[in-house]
Amino acid sequence: MTAMMTPLPPAKGYRALREGRHSEAGGFYFLTFCSLDRLKGLSNAAIASAIIAEIDAMQADEAWTLHCGTIMPDHVHLLIELGQPLSLGKTIARLKAKTAANLRDRGLNWQPGYFDHRLRPREERLPYFHYTHLNPYRADLLRIEEKWPWFICSPTNQKWFVPMLNQELPEPTWLTGLP
């Protein structure tokens, strides 16, 4: 008679997030990383500018190609295509390391880890552009007639995405019924 094996409980926490994570050059990833304890301040002009400067430097170094992103008060969303020189984890580590001093100067730190979603090859990217662009409006950080200063979009993607907007603002119907 064999004893029935009880399944082990699923792993929990940050370690579980890393299991099965796959980093592939040329892959599209939707990334989210947060300030420690979700303290607000990332959208401070000096911090946001430092984050954008490092995003641009990483693009120049071909670590990734940025498609769009937004810097919120306590987190950052990016849609990127991963480049050759660094793994996904190392790109995030680099961005956090290069911007950590700016955060510390204002009493902030980065939360360990990050969240990622690897887009399937045929997965539509437009919903990620909408989600990223609408995030500050959904969070009630500004009125519909105001433009969020920390939404970033590559020039190539601006050519097709910005014409969908209402003078670079979301269409009011996009915001109806949002949580």
Write down the pLDDT at residue 48.
98
Closest among 92, 87, 93, 114 to 22, alpha carbons compared:
87
Write down the pLDDT at residue 144.
86
User: Which neighbouring-strand residues pair with 77?
Assistant: 32, 70
CA 58/CA 95 separation, integer angstroms: 8
Taking the chain (179 residues) in runs of 10, the rounded mean pLDDT of each run is 42 46 86 97 97 97 96 98 93 97 97 95 92 93 92 94 84 66
Write down the pLDDT at residue 174.
74
Write down the pLDDT at residue 171.
75
33: number of Cβ within 10 Å: 19
CA 178/CA 19 separation, integer angstroms: 32
What's the pTM?
0.84
Write down the pLDDT at residue 3.
44
Interior CA angle at 149 toward 145 and 151, to 5°? 100
Write down the pLDDT at residue 16.
42
Tell me which H or E stretch contains 104: helix 88-104
